[in-house]
Structure 1
Amino acid sequence: MNFSERLDLAMRQAGYTQGKLAKAVNMAQSSVNKLLNGASGSRKTVEIAKALGVSPEWLSTGAGEMAKTEPSNIRETSLKAAIWEEMDRDEDEFVEIPLLNVALSAGDGSCELEESSDFALVFRRYYLKRMGVPESAAKLVRVSGQSMEPMLNDGDVVGINLQETSIRDGKTYAICQADLLRVKTLIATPESVIIRSLNRDEYPDEVVPRSDFNRNVRIIGKVFWSSHSW
């Protein structure tokens, strides 16, 4: 099930109409309707899950059990990882990770990033800790195109660690190149960096001299998690 299907199931089981849910979480009914008709997430996921009595992690990603297994003490925040870090970790089990978008930088290659105001996914703090990802360094990016098929499809979302920007051969990274946000496997050689797609039949390796790579490509972070649509 995708996010919209999970939300529909949770609303039906909880006896919530679109209007009732909109009122419960202080959002427009039209926004609830969008979530039920193809939207892949919301910055109010935790609040919606609390109102419907389901696990925020399940509602956000489909992981774990649908029903909450224990009372949640999650409080509403600005839904940014840096703010959640200031909260009592013993009280709060989940953190919401925002999506990064690229703000065009007039072709100078600076590739400015900004957080989406309306999209985030919920992760357990324990999972981030187990993966070695600091909460403040955890962000999401969206895959564009078919170059990483069959592992990742166009529109899939990956989690990245902003603190891991050194190339570890064969690992997958989010990079900015010519004002484009790309998800690619990187391989370093003494003289160059290979930018590799998984769909190598249609997208051959890009071999970039190290000097050009350092000048024109920015490594945003290493991928630690991925979604996959079918």
Structure 2
Amino acid sequence: MKEAGHTQKSLADAVGMAQSSVWRLLDGSQGSRKTVAIAKELGVRAEWLAEGVGEMRDAGAFKSNNPESAIRNSSLRIKEIDDDETPNPDEFVEIPLLDVSLSAGNGSYELTEYSDYSLVFRRYYLRKLGVSEKNAKLVRVTGRSMEPTLHDGDIVGVNTQETTIRDGKTYAIRQGDLLRVKILIEHPDHVIIRSINREEYEDENMPRDIFYNDVHIIGQVFWSSHSW
């Protein structure tokens, strides 16, 4: 399910069953008449899913072999330089990795895209998340402040259309010359910039006017990889 980009609910909806039934399957307490439909939705062989027999996928099915990114989500494919295989343009969209470049003198900045690094997502997957492909960008996580959810070097997908703070959501922000990934919580008079690793990184409390003057919200995180 994780590799296919499914939650219990989205898988249940896709194959026409109750979410509670998916939960029981994960718990190992029952089988299902929907095994073939589930296997098709997840892109695996029904025999393997039901009994653990044979290969997980048929020969030729996609498997990521990029050890650097450690991304194995079948909702996307890794773009490899000089790869002769071209994804169907109607099915896939490339999302670039962002960098922040600061202009000298005036303190302004611009977001630039690495030309040699992008991930290829299924358009269907983005639509399920409510993300427009033109507003989808990638940002690399640095440091340990978002552990254990995000590790140093992980990649997150960012919806640049979502720049309004929704309490408890995670955002990519530009603060000075730093590109950061943080939880934002807005109060009437201040904004909290929060790390998941709160044992080592305390909350940052900023007056609202200073926050909106000094911090630029690039977008809300909608997806993440995870390095092991």
Is TM-score (shorter-chain normalized) higher than 0.5? Answer: yes
Q: How does 1:62-81 map to 2 (within 5 A)?
A: 62-64=72-74, 74=87
Post-superposition offset of 1:101: 0.4
Which amino acid counterpart does residue 177 of structure 1 have in structure 2?
A: Q
Residue 130 of structure 2 aligns to a residue in which SS? coil
Give the alignment partner of residue 178 of structure 1, picking from 162, 170, 176: 176
User: Take 2:121 and 2:65, find their aligned partners in 1: how far apart are those partners?
Assistant: 11
Any idea what the Cα deviations from partners look like across 1:194-224, whole Å, max 9, x if unmatched? 0000011111000000000010000000000
The TM-score with structure 1 as length reference comes to 0.63
Any idea what the Cα deviations from partners look like across 1:148-183, whole Å, max 9, x if unmatched? 011111111000000000000000000000111000
Post-superposition offset of 1:139: 0.4
User: Take 1:146 and 1:195, find their aligned partners in 2: how far apart are those partners?
Assistant: 15
Residue in 2 that maps onto 1:218: 216
Q: How does 1:3-152 map to 2 (within 5 A)?
A: 55=62, 58=64, 61-64=71-74, 74=87, 92-106=90-104, 109-152=107-150
Please tell me whether the aligned partners of residues 186 and 195 of structure 1 are also in contact (alpha carbons under 8 angstroms).
yes
Q: 1:131 to 1:148 in 2, by over 3 A?
A: same
Instruction: Kindly indicate whether residue 165 of structure 2 is the aligned counterpart of residue 167 of structure 1.
Output: yes
| Greater per-residue helix proportion | 1
The TM-score with structure 2 as length reference comes to 0.64
Residue in 2 that maps onto 1:192: 190
Q: 1:108 to 1:183 in 2, by over 3 A?
A: farther
Post-superposition offset of 1:122: 1.3
User: Take 2:122 and 2:135, find their aligned partners in 1: how far apart are those partners?
Assistant: 15
Residue 210 of structure 2 aligns to a residue in which SS? helix
Post-superposition offset of 1:110: 3.0
User: Take 1:215 and 1:59, find their aligned partners in 2: how far apart are those partners?
Assistant: 43
User: Take 2:106 and 2:193, find their aligned partners in 1: how far apart are those partners?
Assistant: 20
Please tell me whether the aligned partners of residues 158 and 226 of structure 1 are also in contact (alpha carbons under 8 angstroms).
yes
User: Take 2:179 and 2:86, find their aligned partners in 1: how far apart are those partners?
Assistant: 36
Q: Aligned residues, how many?
A: 157
Q: Give percent identity, aligned residues only.
A: 63
Residue 183 of structure 2 aligns to a residue in which SS? strand
Instruction: Please report the RMSD computed on the Cα atoms of aligned residues, expressed in angstroms.
Output: 2.3
Residue 101 of structure 1 aligns to a residue in which SS? strand
User: Take 1:106 and 1:201, find their aligned partners in 2: how far apart are those partners?
Assistant: 36
Q: 1:109 to 1:226 in 2, by over 3 A?
A: farther
Please tell me whether the aligned partners of residues 109 and 216 of structure 1 are also in contact (alpha carbons under 8 angstroms).
no
User: Take 2:107 and 2:193, find their aligned partners in 1: how far apart are those partners?
Assistant: 17
User: Take 1:74 and 1:229, find their aligned partners in 2: how far apart are those partners?
Assistant: 25
Q: 1:103 to 1:156 in 2, by over 3 A?
A: same
